[in-house]
Amino acid sequence: MKTLVLALLSLIAFSLPAGAADSSPAPSEKTLKVVTLNLYHDKDDWPKRRVQIAEELKRLQPDAIALQEVLQDEGLTNQAEWLATQLGYQWHFVSTDPAGQPRRYGNALLTRHPILKRSQKLLQPLDDSRSAGFLRIDLDGRPLNLYVTHLHWTDQGGAIRARQIADLMQYIAATSENIPSLVAGDFNSTADSPELAALREGFVDTYGNRHPRADAVSSSTLNPKYFVAPKRIDHVFFQRGAFAPLGAAILFSQPDAQGVWASDHFGMLVELRPAAFETKAKPALDQRLRSDHQTAFRHGR
């Protein structure tokens, strides 16, 4: 019964009702699946947690993965590198810690597609130790930009997050080269918060677009084992007019068979159709998507 319910929820999540998308790019057969997940660094037995993370990502085969709270240390292989090796993906790790230092902490982007360009940016204020990572990938012959970040964490830190967003937007303006872009990560803030206003001018919250009536509990990305108040603070924003959102689902919202949680955050999976692919869509596209995601999103809500 539980499996059936999850399948039905996934079906609803990935239907494409008229007027649901923020914009109407040209139809395409090419889609992009992106996962974002805060790894909770090495707390709560990383060797056990990483097993279910790797298994689920292998099953989903996303085009790109944005990770936050990625750690490497003496005796601990960089967590993004470990996952990339398990998946056969390429990886890009960014940190405010100096290269060559044994212990480094930051964000990462993983992809199964060719990488065309990569860079990173340390976000202001520098004493908050926050960064943004950038990859340009080749998605079946067309370039796409991926950005990952992790913003200031305190409830009272809205002004700090606003400054980090302003810095991030300058970075995107300087590096995007008018190529369709996505921004993913742990924003430590709801998608409609005042501090994310500058981001919303050019980007759209994928989950909010697909689930406009979702309540705080069902859409929360904070694991209730670790957090009291439900809140969705992990997001994937797509560039306005550059993508059509097809679906969004919460991942890792249940422990595994041994009762082990993947992280203190839930992950998020989104699927989008880039506007750049201007090919004629098959009539059965929406039906195929619904059928595929009944299986692919058994952990979604």
pLDDT, tens digit (0-9, with 9 covering 90-100), for 102-143:
999 999 999 999 999 999 999 999 999 999 999 999 999 999
pLDDT, tens digit, 9 for 90 and up, residues 184-203: 999 999 999 999 999 999 99
The single-letter DSSP state of residue 207 is: H
2-296 placed in CATH 3.60.10.10: yes
User: H-type helices in the chain, by residue range?
Assistant: 2-13, 46-60, 79-87, 158-175, 197-200, 206-210, 216-219, 285-296
Residue 301 has pLDDT above 60, yes or no: no
Residue 72 pairs in a beta bridge with 104
Angle at 253 between CA 154 and CA 180, to 5 degrees: 70
Could you tell me the pLDDT band of residue 29, with boundaries at 50, 70 and 90? low
Could you tell me the pLDDT band of residue 279, with boundaries at 50, 70 and 90? very low
